[in-house]
Amino acid sequence: MAESLYPPYSRLYVAYDKDTTEEELTGTFQNFGNVQNVNLCRDRATGKPKGFAFVQFDKTSEAATAMEAVNGSTIGHSNRPVRVTVALSRDQASSSSSNDPSQFHRLFLVIPKTFTENDLDEHFSRFGSIENVSIVKDRETKENKGYAYVKYKKFSDAARAFENCDRSYKVVFAKPKGPAGGGRPIEREALSRPEPVSICTHIEENPHGYTGLWAQVSMDLPDEHIEWLFDIPPGLEYVRFFNEIPYENPYSRKVFAQYDSPGTAAYALRKLDGFEYPAGSRVRVKPDYQYSDRMLALDRQRQGPHSISNLMQQVESLNKSLNEATRLIKSAGISTPFTTKPNHLEAFRCSAKLPPPQPLAPSGSVPQERLFVVCEPGLPPQDALWDVFSRFGNLIELYILNGKNCGYAKYSDKDSAHKAMQTLNGQELYRMKLKVLIAEPQREDRKRPRTNYD
C-alpha cells in the first residue's frame, strides 16, 4: 500500500493524436523519468482511445521536464502537436488559473527573520534561473515576517528546488492568488506541520469516527484501477467490490473502502469525492457509519483468536484470485451483464448535434439554474444523460427521481443551462424523447427526494 500521496504536480494531462499507439506514448514519457502509469482514456462503447491520457511520474521534476519538452512536439508518425499540461485535482483546478503555466514556477518557504533576499538568491539559484525573490514583510514595521516566495523562470527548475533544497525551508509550491488579488494563508498552515506531514492531523475533521467509505465509480474501471485510486490517500486497508448497481446510474458500480483510522478515512473522503476519474465520470464518495463496525465484529467472531491482519491477507488473496479470474474471462471474450453495454443502442444515441465534451462544474459550485427533464416513454441510459447534459459545461449534477422518468439537471452557469435546453428540448436520446424546461425555483423548505444512493 502507498504510504503517501504522489508528489504535487507530478501527474500530466496529455492530448494526442488518436493514431498514436500506447507504446509510442509511453516510450516518449519514459525518456524523462520513472513513469508509474499511463492511463489512456477510451470510448466506453468501442474501446478505442479518445485522444487524451494521464501520465503519472514518480517525481515532480520528471513531470515538469517532460511537460516542457513534449508540449507542442509530435510523437511517432503523427504530424499533430501534442498538448501537455499538469493534471490538477478538482480542488486545485477550482483555485488556480489553468491558463497560466507560471503558477507552477513559484515556491513558498519559511526562512529565518535575519535572512535577506541575497541569502535566498545564493541558495536557490543553484537549481535554476530565478525570476524574483520576495520576502514577506510587516506592512508597518517592514520587518521580515519569516517567510518568502521564490519564483523561477521554468517549472522544472522550481521542481528541482522543491525536491533538493535544504529541508529547513519547509518549501511547498505556492498557491495561486485568490480572485480578489490577495494571497492565501494556506502555505503557512501547511508549513506549520512537522515533516513528514502525518495524516493523523486530519483526525479533527472526523468527529463521527467512521473508518469506511462507500463510493460510486465508473463501471469501465478495472478493479486494479479502483484499488489504485483509493490507495492514493494513505491508510487504505482493503477495497470490497459489490455487484449492486446504483439506481441513479446503472453504468456505475458500488465499492467499499476501509481505512486504518478515522483521520485517514476523512482525508480520503475530502480528496476523492467529486474527483473525475476517468475524465467526465465523477467519483461519488460518502462516509459509512455502520458497515465498518459490523464487518469488524463479524470478522472477530469468525476468527476467534486469529488476528485481523490474517483475515486481511485472506481477503487480499481472494481479491487477487477474483481479479485474475476476471482478466481470464475478459481475455476469453466472455462478457458479463455488469460490464457490457448494449451496443445496438449506439445507433439511436442522440438526434441533436452535440458540442464536444466540456468539464463539469468545480466541486462545491452553487447552482445558478435548474432544468426539469422528462424522458418519454422511458429512461435512456443514465450515463448517456450525463454525457449529453454535461457537454454544455458547468454541470453540477443530474439526478432522476426514484420510480419516475423525470429529474433535474443543475448548472453553475445560466448560459450553459439555457444552451442545453435549447439544444436538447424535443430531441431523442436512445429513441426516448426529451422534454427540457427551466425548473421552478426550489422552495427552501423542500429538499429533493432521496435516491437509493443518498
Q: Are residues 320 and 431 in the same domain?
A: no
Contact 274, 282 (CB under 8 A): yes
Query: What is the structure's pLDDT at 338?
Result: 32
Give the distance from CA 49 to its chain's centroid.
Answer: 20
- Ranges 27-31, 96-100, 202-206, 397-401: which has the least confidence: 202-206
Of the pLDDT bands very low, low, confident and very high (cuts 50, 70, 90), residue 340 is very low
The CATH number of residue 376's host domain is: 3.30.70.330
> Alpha-carbon distance 401 to 449, whole Å?
7
Q: Are residues 286 and 358 in the same domain?
A: no
Of 140, 164, 197, the domain-final residue: 197
Higher pLDDT, 219 or 341: 219
Cell numbers representing residue 439 in the block: 425548473
Of the pLDDT bands very low, low, confident and very high (cuts 50, 70, 90), residue 319 is low
Flag whether pLDDT at 154 surpasses 90: yes
Of the pLDDT bands very low, low, confident and very high (cuts 50, 70, 90), residue 377 is confident
On whether residue 143 sits in a domain, the answer given is yes
> Alpha-carbon distance 343 to 47, whole Å?
12
Overall average pLDDT of the 90-113 stretch: 71
On whether residue 203 sits in a domain, the answer given is no
Query: What is the structure's pLDDT at 312?
Result: 52
User: What is the span of the domain harbouring residue 265?
Assistant: 211-331
Q: Are residues 365 and 297 in the same domain?
A: no
Q: pLDDT (tens digit, 9 = 90+) per residue, 257-273?
A: 998 888 888 888 888 88
On whether residue 430 sits in a domain, the answer given is yes
Flag whether pLDDT at 443 surpasses 80: no
On whether residue 47 sits in a domain, the answer given is yes
Q: Which residues of 173-208 are buried (b: 16+ CB within 10 A; e: fewer)?
A: bbbbeeeeeeeeeebbeebeeeeeeebeebbeebee
Q: pLDDT (tens digit, 9 = 90+) per residue, 175-202?
A: 765 444 444 443 443 444 333 333 333 4
| Domains held by the chain: number | 4
Q: Are residues 229 and 120 in the same domain?
A: no
Of the pLDDT bands very low, low, confident and very high (cuts 50, 70, 90), residue 454 is very low
Q: Are residues 36 and 108 in the same domain?
A: no
> Alpha-carbon distance 120 to 127, whole Å?
12
Overall average pLDDT of the 113-120 stretch: 91
On whether residue 51 sits in a domain, the answer given is yes
Q: pLDDT (tens digit, 9 = 90+) per residue, 228-254?
A: 889 877 788 888 887 666 655 666 788
Higher pLDDT, 154 or 222: 154
Q: Are residues 323 and 349 in the same domain?
A: no
Flag whether pLDDT at 361 surpasses 60: yes
Query: What is the structure's pLDDT at 197?
Result: 38
DSSP string across 129-192: -EEEEEEEE-TTT--EEEEEEEEESSHHHHHHHHHHS-GGG--EEPPPPPTTS---THHHHHHT
Of 23, 56, 87, the domain-final residue: 87
Higher pLDDT, 98 or 142: 142
Of 158, 173, 197, the domain-final residue: 197
On whether residue 376 sits in a domain, the answer given is yes
- Ranges 43-47, 137-141, 170-174: which has the least confidence: 43-47
On whether residue 223 sits in a domain, the answer given is yes
Query: What is the structure's pLDDT at 324?
Result: 55
Overall average pLDDT of the 328-344 stretch: 38
Q: Are residues 287 and 327 in the same domain?
A: yes
On whether residue 153 sits in a domain, the answer given is yes
Flag whether pLDDT at 274 surpasses 50: yes
Q: Are residues 106 and 153 in the same domain?
A: yes
Give the distance from CA 361 to its chain's centroid.
Answer: 13
Of the pLDDT bands very low, low, confident and very high (cuts 50, 70, 90), residue 453 is very low
